Amino acid sequence: MLKKALDSFAAKISRRLEKSRFVKRSLKVSVERVIEGLYLLALLILLGGGVNAVLEGLRFKAPQSMIFPYSTAQSIGETVIYIFTLILGVAGVYFIYRGSRFTSSKRVSNFYLFVGVVGLLLALVIELYLFGYKRYG
């Protein structure tokens, strides 16, 4: 139901934008792509703990640090770090996928696999460090 409403809204805006000459010349991005991008941005903010940072992180005024050592609270800076590690992990999985596909060169395929594994391990190390800091910090 929500998807149907968004599709009809996007189609209505696309029709209005197609009638405009300014948009035809300067803007080539479709409305559906903008909605998809906003959806992915909202998903990243929710997965990174943006709601927790807004609700719980604003209660703690005393510690002026990037990461709160409490397991129940999360700062905005910590949310940004979590979003960065999410993007790094997803990029690592994507590069592993690209490396497993057939390409013209074995070196390129091995490079993609190497970069993907390094990105995935780096994201895992950052997350485990943050979890350890919050638990024992």
What is the domain count for the chain? Answer: 1
Q: What domain range is 130 assigned to?
A: 2-136
pLDDT (0 to 100) of residue 26: 53
Number of residues assigned to the chain: 137
pLDDT at 130 over 90: no
Give the model's pLDDT for residue 63.
55
- Cα 94 to chain centroid distance, Å, stands at 13
Is the pTM value of this prediction over 0.85?
A: no
Average the pLDDT over 73-96 and give the result: 88
pLDDT band at 95 (very low <50, low <70, confident <90, very high): very high
Q: pLDDT (tens digit, 9 = 90+) per residue, 35-59? A: 888 888 888 888 888 787 777 766 6
Cβ pair 43, 18 in contact under 8 A: no
